[in-house]
Amino acid sequence: MSDRMPPRHRIRARGTAEDPPTRFDAHARETVDDGWTPEEPPFARTEVSIERPRAVIARNTSPDISFDRSINPYRGCEHGCIYCFARPTHGYLGLSPGLDFETKLIARPDAPRVLERQLRARAYRPDVIALGTNTDPYQPIERDRRIMRGVLEVLQRFRHPLTIATKGTMIERDIDILAEMSGTGLARAGISVTTLDRDLARSLEPRVPSPAQRLRAIERLARAGVETRVMVSPVIPGLTDHEVERILGAARDAGAVAASWIMLRLPYEVAGLFEDWLERMVPDRKAKVLARVREMHGGALYAADWGHRMRGEGLHAELIAKRFDLARRRLGLADTLPPLRRDLFEVPLATDRQASLF
């Protein structure tokens, strides 16, 4: 990919400098060097746009996903994980899954207010809301925007069950809410750890807190009484798969009570971006990694079939699954946890804007 066009920006702590066209683009565009701009391109800066959604609860009917509704406070993700399966969703906005996904972010500041309206609807029936399923709710801009904090405050008031998936240690800021809700069976958290190698993590996930910081977040959540799962996600065959047992052991020692894993997924434009990253960062491993990935998907870099996309198939996929399961059971980490409570859901009688009638 890097041979196709020179980058429009220099990057510092970004996953990629590439901005490949999406499958929705009617016309392909390429940047060429005409010799008139010899100076270096500017550094890529993060830009944040505002979206005013009419609804924030997204529904899904995927048979291999354990939840049917989710909320994402942000579109795009500044964490910049090169392997992120959500990158192609930026194409729906007319933006590239490459550098645009990391730098052209969309915040949804009205999410808490819209969520409250949806939860108050007479037809609404509570079930677990998953937070952080597409882009990370604790990416760096949350520090100032605090949209995730607002969403949690609404869910706490309504006694609504929730789960969180994140790589961000900013989740520690919200321990006060999560500890109270976890104590009544309404909340649990999942922290993703891809590798324990700090240098590799910095390259794969350039703006994500270090593996050690994420393990400390597990420890602090656990100490506060928040049930926490370690998610070994994604497992990259030929690059990080040898770390499965070590990650599980470190997470258990930090206080995790459950564990799960997902195989590397390379849908649509992510495949090319990941190939380019392999060539730039670990060229000696590129052939091995891609060969393993193709073996798991019938010769392709990705297959989206239900029941297949999360695990892959073949000898190496089965080996990773068995190793993970053996280590998980040996360490006493749960595979599944008891269901969160739905029976505590209650619509508050008053809001800050409307007093109770009684």
Dist CA 108 CA 86 (whole Å): 17
Q: What is the pLDDT along the chain (358 residues), one digit of tens a residue?
A: 444 445 666 667 899 989 888 888 877 666 666 666 556 777 889 999 999 999 999 999 999 899 999 999 999 999 999 999 999 999 999 999 999 999 999 999 999 999 999 999 999 999 999 999 999 999 999 999 999 999 999 999 999 999 999 999 999 999 999 999 999 999 999 999 999 999 999 999 999 999 999 999 999 999 999 999 999 999 999 999 999 999 999 999 999 999 999 999 999 999 999 999 999 999 999 999 999 999 999 999 999 999 899 999 999 999 999 999 999 999 999 999 999 999 999 999 865 555 444 4
Location of structure tokens 């590439």: 18
Read off the pTM.
0.92
Angle at 229 between CA 118 and CA 219, to 5 degrees: 110
User: Could you give the CA distance from residue 26 to residue 325 in angstroms, rounded to a whole number?
Assistant: 45
Q: Domains for the chain: give ranges and CATH numbers.
A: 54-265 (3.20.20.70)
Backbone angles phi, psi at 26, to 5 degrees: -75, -25
Pick from 231, 283, 280: nearest CA to 14: 280
108 three-class SS: coil
Q: Answer for the pair 103, 90: CB distance below 8 angstroms, yes or no.
A: no
Residue among 43, 148, 143 at smallest CA distance from 103: 43
How far is it, in rounded angstroms, from Cα 69 to Cα 163?
Answer: 11
At residue 341, the 3 state secondary structure works out as coil
The contacts of residue 299 (CB under 8 Å, 6+ apart) are none
Q: What is the 3-state secondary structure (H, E, C) of 140-190?
A: CCHHHHCHHHHHHHHHHHCCCCEEEEECCHHHHHHHHHHHHHHHCCCEEEE
Place of tokens 């360490």: 331
CA dihedral 102, 106, 107, 113 (to 10 degrees): -140
